[in-house]
Structures are given as structure tokens and as C-alpha cells.
């Protein structure tokens, strides 16, 4: 066995990666994912022993949402990493979960055990068969919640899937909200150079993890962009508007469609405190529709005046 000596690293300042630093700690803080959030927000109020199957593409927040759920219900979280979910691993976790839920870090009891199995489609057949008995009424561990995350259901037994409550995670649900989320992170981290957050989100295919990592590289570059290839800089000039909505603030944004009439109303109006929620989304859509309608009416009036002249 080889032992590695790492030396004294106390003096080395290692900043927390943005993905971890800005990881949502509460279900309500996630962007998009309207239906999964609504279901889980109701679940945390009255949690019960159950199994859940989070299905969706990588990077949309399946594991992170599961961890946030664990924090909110005061559960001790056990994670089984991808490709390590074999019979030995699940038997070990099942044995621990048969005991009273306990946080070994804080030394205090918990309300629940939460087992997160990442990329469940990679688990071995023997592990899957073991879960069949643990997920039904015959031998479930007490006060334990299972969450399986997966990119697909390929290779999973129908009997296993039928024992889980499936929630679908879609990257499309992040469109329109991920850009605002990136903008807020950029501002909190002191970003000064105008960035096209829409391009970053689209290039990442609305993968939150990838988008935040891309944003981190932009922050590392800073404002010194001299000598960089122009093709690497998807930057747009900053436009300034005086908001005609409730907040009456000056609103700056890099947006190619700023000439559209609804851009004169900033996102802070109609739900700034609830941004990212369905209520805010509906309010923003209403603002756009009303502004476009007003714009068209003004155009028609101006045309009538021209004809009358």
C-alpha cells in the first residue's frame, strides 16, 4: 500500500468552484423544473418512506435536487456513485439504513435516511434484484427514502420501475430562466464584462453544470480580452433602458432583441421576489403580451394619421 504525503496545504487558498458555491440548498431555489419542484415541495411537508426515480439528461439538477430535499427533511444522505452500485454496496447501505437515522458528522439523530443512487441504469442486475425486495412492503428499511437518478430506463426491470414514483427532468424547462440565473451569479461574483448569457445557456444545451463552468471561465478571463480570437467572444454591446414598469430603475442588458417593445420592462417587475417560479413566468408573459399589443396599437394609430394627412 502506497501512502502519499500531501504536506501542509493550510496556507493555500483554494476557492470553491462556482457549481458548488451556488448550489441551491432549497427546492424553491432551482431554475425551471416546475413540475418536479411542485411535487417535491409538497412532499417535504409530509415526507414518507418511498422510492423516487428522477429521469432526465445530465446536468439538469437531478442529484442536486435530491440533496436539497435531504437537507429540508433533515435526512442523512448516503450516495452510491455511478458504476459502483453492486450487491455489496446496496447491502451495506441497507444495513446502515436498518438502524436509527443518525448524522455521523454532527453527532445528532435525523428524521430520515436518504439513499441517492446515481445513474441507476448502470447498477448491476444483482443490485437491482436486491432493491426489488427493499422497495416493496416485504422488507423495506424503516424511515428511509430512495432516490434513483438516471439518464434513461434502458436495462432497468419493469418491476423495479413500477416500485418508484417517476419525475421527468427536462432541459427545456430551464429555457428562459437559466440565462437569468447565470446573470445573477455573474453579478454576485463581480463580473464586469458584458456577457451574452443566452449564448452560454444554448451552447451548454441548458445543462446547468456545463453553463456554470463556462461562466466561470469567463470570470477568469475578466475584462482583459485583448488578443483573444473574435470567434471565441460571443459578446454583445450593453443596452440601457429606463424601466417603464413598477421599479422605475435603469436596466442594462446585453441583448440582440432589445428593440422589441417588451424589453422596456425589466424582469424585476411582475415578480422579482419570485423569479424562477411559475407565477413570475406568467407575469412576465403577460407583460410582454400587453407591451406588444400597445406597440401594435400605436403603429396602427400612426399609420392612420399618415393616411389622413
pLDDT tens per residue, range 210-222: 999 999 999 998 8
Return the higher-pLDDT residue of 198 and 289: 198
pLDDT tens per residue, range 240-260: 555 555 555 554 544 544 444
* Confidence check: pLDDT of 276 > 50: no
Q: How far is CA 57 from CA 4, 147, 243, 309, in A?
A: 37, 16, 37, 59
Max mean pLDDT among 72-81, 175-184, 262-271 falls in 72-81
* Confidence check: pLDDT of 286 > 90: no
Q: Taking the CA atoms of the chain, what radius of gyration do you get in angstroms?
A: 24
Assess contact for 150 and 58: CB atoms under 8 A.
no
d(CA 75, CA 101): 7
Q: What is the model's pTM? A: 0.68
Please report the pLDDT score of residue 167 as a whole number: 95
Q: How far is CA 228 from CA 132, 190, 203, 221, in A?
A: 56, 21, 19, 10
pLDDT tens per residue, range 15-61: 788 999 999 999 999 988 989 999 999 999 999 999 999 999 988 99
Assess contact for 286 and 294: CB atoms under 8 A.
no
Average pLDDT, the chain: 78
d(CA 254, CA 236): 5
Amino acid at each position: 500500500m502506497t501512502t502519499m504525503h500531501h504536506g501542509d496545504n493550510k496556507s493555500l487558498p483554494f476557492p470553491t468552484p462556482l457549481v458548488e458555491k451556488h448550489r441551491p440548498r432549497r427546492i424553491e431555489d432551482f431554475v425551471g423544473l416546475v413540475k418536479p419542484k411542485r411535487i417535491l415541495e409538497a412532499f417535504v411537508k409530509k415526507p414518507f418512506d418511498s422510492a423516487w426515480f428522477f429521469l432526465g439528461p445530465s446536468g439538469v439538477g437531478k442529484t442536486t435536487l435530491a440533496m436539497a430535499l435531504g437537507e429540508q427533511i433533515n435526512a442523512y444522505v448516503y450516495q452510491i456513485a455511478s458504476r459502483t452500485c453492486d450487491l455489496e454496496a446496496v447491502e451495506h447501505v441497507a444495513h446502515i439504513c436498518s438502524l436509527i437515522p443518525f448524522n455521523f458528522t454532527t453527532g445528532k439523530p435525523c428524521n430520515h435516511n436518504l439513499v441517492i443512487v446515481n445513474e441507476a441504469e448502470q447498477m448491476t442486475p444483482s443490485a437491482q434484484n436486491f432493491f426489488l425486495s427493499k422497495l416493496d412492503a416485504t422488507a423495506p428499511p424503516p424511515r428511509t427514502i430512495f432516490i434513483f437518478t438516471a439518464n434513461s430506463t434502458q436495462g432497468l426491470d419493469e418491476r423495479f420501475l413500477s416500485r418508484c414514483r417517476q419525475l421527468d427532468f427536462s432541459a427545456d424547462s430551464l429555457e428562459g430562466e437559466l440565462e437569468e440565473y447565470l446573470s445573477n451569479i455573474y453579478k454576485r461574483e463581480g463580473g464586469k464584462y458584458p456577457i451574452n448569457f443566452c449564448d452560454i445557456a444554448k451552447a451548454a444545451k441548458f445543462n446547468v453544470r456545463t453553463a456554470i463552468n463556462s461562466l466561470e471561465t469567463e470570470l477568469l478571463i475578466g475584462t482583459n480580452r485583448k488578443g483573444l480570437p473574435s470567434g471565441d467572444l460571443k459578446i454583445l454591446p450593453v443596452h440601457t433602458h429606463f424601466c417603464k414598469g413598477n421599479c422605475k430603475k435603469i436596466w442594462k442588458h446585453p441583448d440582440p432583441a432589445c428593440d422589441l417593445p417588451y424589453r422596456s420592462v425589466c424582469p424585476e417587475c411582475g415578480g422579482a421576489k419570485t423569479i424562477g417560479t411559475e407565477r413570475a413566468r406568467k407575469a412576465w408573459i403577460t407583460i410582454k403580451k400587453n407591451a406588444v399589443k400597445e406597440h401594435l396599437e400605436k403603429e396602427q394609430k400612426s399609420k392612420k394619421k399618415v393616411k389622413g394627412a
